[in-house]
């Protein structure tokens, strides 16, 4: 138990926090903090934010609903560097869970002095997940993150060896649970004990652990020489299509159209019908990774690629299809505006195309099956990537 009488820092200025905890916002991470708060320990939640997970807007919600103080920590840049080649591989989809935990804990350790804290907390439960929460993996994460003596996993404490924090009496081990396995019954009972009625999802949500989102990320990892957080954010918008290394995003509704316009970079191409309602489409031009299809130029679209993408995007407008005609009547062109550059440097051109779902470039949505093949190639013969694989984003709010 934490006991001020045994606190050697009694005469020194009180540390602001005893511990820093990884706070995904999932139930386990909340409970790990609550069981320590119940012992009178002050714990600050670290909510790591990357292009793939993180809900930075929930900081005040956690304070008001659960009584938990937390701060957002932007981990985009190092996360992207790790994602391309995680030392311990990927999980079922594109989730590098072991390296993700190692990265967060390694970083959290560096924040201990800043908050006057002496140990780290995570809500992992032994045996709950096949990849990252086996006993051997929990040990490996602790070792590789360099937090062997610093990390407490309170929810499974009774199933794990005592930590220095428990041995010193700072944390009362006898009051910590010994959860194990995949069941949620114990966690729900503990939540009820703390009067938690708003139960969040177990893991807090991570797009890398989802099949569809991972499929959207894969072409970015494969094709771009310098992918940034903004590239991954774009992949969340609208319909995503690739034709070899050419990347086209098409809005599904006005909300998507606006989001695409906002996501636009000076080097992007915006396509929209001149006289008819229809979707906004954004073609992203980028430097390709070494070895991307010879003869193709994703950094500068040719007129043929532009016309192909414009015809394909126009096919998502029912009015454009109707105007173009059906069957023997088909083929009447519609006019698409092509905007390039931004602000005063923007140029606007017009291009006449026949809306077509099947075009010579064969645009296709990313397929999740491609991920398995890529991971296999990665395991057997991962090519060395340039050192500076990911570009620094200009400052912006975490996605
Ligand atoms: S699910 Fe996502 S956030 Fe959670 S450990 Fe795995 S990679 Fe990290």
Size of the chain in residues: 399
DSSP 255: H
CB atoms within 10 A of CB 82: 18
Sign of CA dihedral 198, 203, 209, 213: positive
Candidates 276, 356, 274; CA nearest to 323 is 276
Mean pLDDT of the residues in the chain: 88
Residue 252 has pLDDT above 50, yes or no: yes
Q: How confident is the model at residue 389 (pLDDT cuts 50, 70, 90)?
A: very low
State what percent of residues in the chain have pLDDT above 70.
88
Ligand 1 centre distance from Cα of residue 98 (Å): 8
Residue-range definition of the domain harbouring residue 123: 4-208
Do 198 and 215 fall into the same domain?
Answer: no
Residue nearest to atom 3 of ligand 1 (CA): 206
pLDDT at residue 142, as a whole number: 96
Location of structure tokens 């937390």? 70
Do 80 and 154 fall into the same domain?
Answer: yes
The string of pLDDT tens digits covering residues 96-122 is 999 999 999 999 999 999 999 999 999
Residue 32 has pLDDT above 90, yes or no: yes
In a domain? residue 298: yes
Is the Cβ atom of 208 under 6 angstroms away from ligand 1?
Answer: yes
Candidates 232, 282, 252, 258; CA nearest to 54 is 232
Instruction: State how many domains the chain has.
Output: 2
pLDDT at residue 233, as a whole number: 94
DSSP 203: S
Candidates 118, 123, 112; CA nearest to 153 is 123
Residue 290 has pLDDT above 90, yes or no: no
In a domain? residue 391: no
Ligand 1 centre distance from Cα of residue 209 (Å): 7
Do 117 and 242 fall into the same domain?
Answer: no
Q: Give the ranges where 264-368 is alpha helix by DSSP (H).
A: 303-314, 318-324
3-state secondary structure of 382: coil
The string of pLDDT tens digits covering residues 264-276 is 999 999 999 999 9
In a mutational test of the pocket of ligand 1, which residue from 46, 53, 125 has the highest number of ligand atoms less than 8 Å from its CB?
53
pLDDT at residue 385, as a whole number: 40
Candidates 246, 250, 269; CA nearest to 259 is 250
Q: What is the CATH number of the domain that holds 147?
A: 3.40.50.620
Residue nearest to atom 2 of ligand 1 (CA): 206
Q: Are 231 and 225 in contact (CB under 8 A)?
A: no
Q: How confident is the model at residue 11 (pLDDT cuts 50, 70, 90)?
A: low
Do 119 and 262 fall into the same domain?
Answer: no
What's the pTM?
A: 0.83
Do 296 and 174 fall into the same domain?
Answer: no
Is the Cβ atom of 95 under 6 angstroms away from ligand 1?
Answer: yes
Rounded to 10°, the helix 185-193/27-37 angle is 50
Residue 128 has pLDDT above 60, yes or no: yes
Do 134 and 34 fall into the same domain?
Answer: yes
Do 111 and 160 fall into the same domain?
Answer: yes
The string of pLDDT tens digits covering residues 40-82 is 999 999 999 999 999 999 999 999 999 999 999 999 989 998 9
Do 38 and 76 fall into the same domain?
Answer: yes
Residue 295 has pLDDT above 90, yes or no: no
In a domain? residue 398: no
Enclosing H/E stretch for 22: strand 19-22
CA angle centred on 326, ends 282 and 269, rounded to 5°: 10
Ligand 1 centre distance from Cα of residue 100 (Å): 6
The residue ranking higher by pLDDT, 326 or 207, is 207
What's the CA gap between 93 and 211, in Å, rounded? Answer: 6
φ/ψ of 49, rounded to 5, equals -125, 125
Do 64 and 88 fall into the same domain?
Answer: yes
Is the Cβ atom of 257 under 6 angstroms away from ligand 1?
Answer: no
Do 149 and 184 fall into the same domain?
Answer: yes
Torsion of CA 317, 301, 371, 378, to 10 degrees: -170
Long-range contacts (CB closer than 8 Å, 24 or more residues apart) made by 131-135: 131/91, 131/92, 131/95, 131/97, 131/98, 132/91, 132/97, 132/98, 132/100, 132/101
Task: Determine the average pLDDT of the residues in 130-155.
Answer: 92
Sign of CA dihedral 150, 153, 158, 161: negative
Do 223 and 347 fall into the same domain?
Answer: yes
In a domain? residue 78: yes
Residue 379 has pLDDT above 80, yes or no: no
In a domain? residue 388: no
Is the Cβ atom of 209 under 6 angstroms away from ligand 1?
Answer: yes
Ligand 1 centre distance from Cα of residue 166 (Å): 27
Ligand 1 centre distance from Cα of residue 38 (Å): 27
Q: Are 165 and 173 in contact (CB under 8 A)?
A: no
Ligand 1 centre distance from Cα of residue 243 (Å): 30
Q: Which two tokens stand for residue 209?
A: 């652990």
Do 273 and 369 fall into the same domain?
Answer: yes
């Amino acid at each position: 138990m934490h006991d001020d009488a045994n606190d050697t820092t009694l005469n020194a200025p009180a540390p602001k926090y005893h511990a820093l905890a990884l706070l995904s916002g999932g139930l386990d991470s909340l409970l790990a903090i609550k069981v320590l708060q119940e012992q009178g320990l002050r714990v600050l939640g670290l909510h790591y934010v990357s292009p793939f997970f993180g809900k930075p807007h929930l900081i005040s919600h956690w304070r008001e609903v659960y009584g938990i103080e937390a701060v957002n920590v932007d981990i985009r840049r190092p996360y992207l560097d790790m994602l391309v080649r995680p030392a311990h591989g990927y999980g079922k989809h594109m989730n590098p869970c072991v390296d993700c935990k190692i990265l967060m804990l390694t970083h959290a350790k560096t924040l201990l002095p800043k908050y006057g804290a002496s140990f780290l907390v995570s809500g992992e439960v032994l045996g709950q997940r096949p990849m990252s929460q086996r006993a051997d993996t929990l040990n490996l994460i602790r070792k590789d993150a360099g937090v062997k003596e610093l990390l407490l996993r309170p929810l499974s404490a009774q199933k794990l060896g005592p930590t220095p924090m428990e041995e010193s009496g700072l944390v009362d081990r006898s009051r910590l649970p010994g959860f194990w396995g995949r069941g949620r019954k114990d966690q729900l009972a503990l939540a009820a004990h703390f009067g938690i009625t708003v139960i969040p999802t177990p893991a807090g949500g991570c797009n890398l652990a989802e099949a569809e989102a991972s499929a959207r990320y894969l072409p970015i990892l494969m094709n771009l020489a310098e992918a940034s957080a903004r590239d991954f954010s774009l992949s969340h918008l609208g319909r995503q299509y690739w034709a070899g290394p050419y990347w086209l995003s098409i809005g599904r509704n006005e909300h998507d159209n606006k989001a695409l316009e906002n996501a636009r970079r000076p080097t992007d191409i915006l396509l929209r019908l001149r006289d008819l309602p229809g979707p906004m489409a954004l073609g992203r031009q980028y430097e390709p990774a070494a070895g991307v299809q010879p003869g193709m130029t994703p950094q500068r679209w040719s007129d043929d690629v532009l016309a192909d993408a414009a015809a394909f995007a126009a096919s998502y407008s029912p009015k454009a299809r109707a105007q173009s005609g059906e069957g023997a009547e088909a083929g009447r062109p519609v006019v698409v505006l092509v905007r390039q550059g931004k602000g005063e440097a923007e140029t606007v051109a017009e291009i006449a195309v026949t809306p077509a779902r099947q075009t010579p470039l064969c645009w296709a949505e990313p397929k999740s099956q491609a991920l398995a093949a890529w991971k296999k190639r990665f395991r057997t013969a991962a090519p060395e990537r340039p050192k500076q694989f990911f570009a620094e984003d200009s400052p912006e709010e975490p996605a």
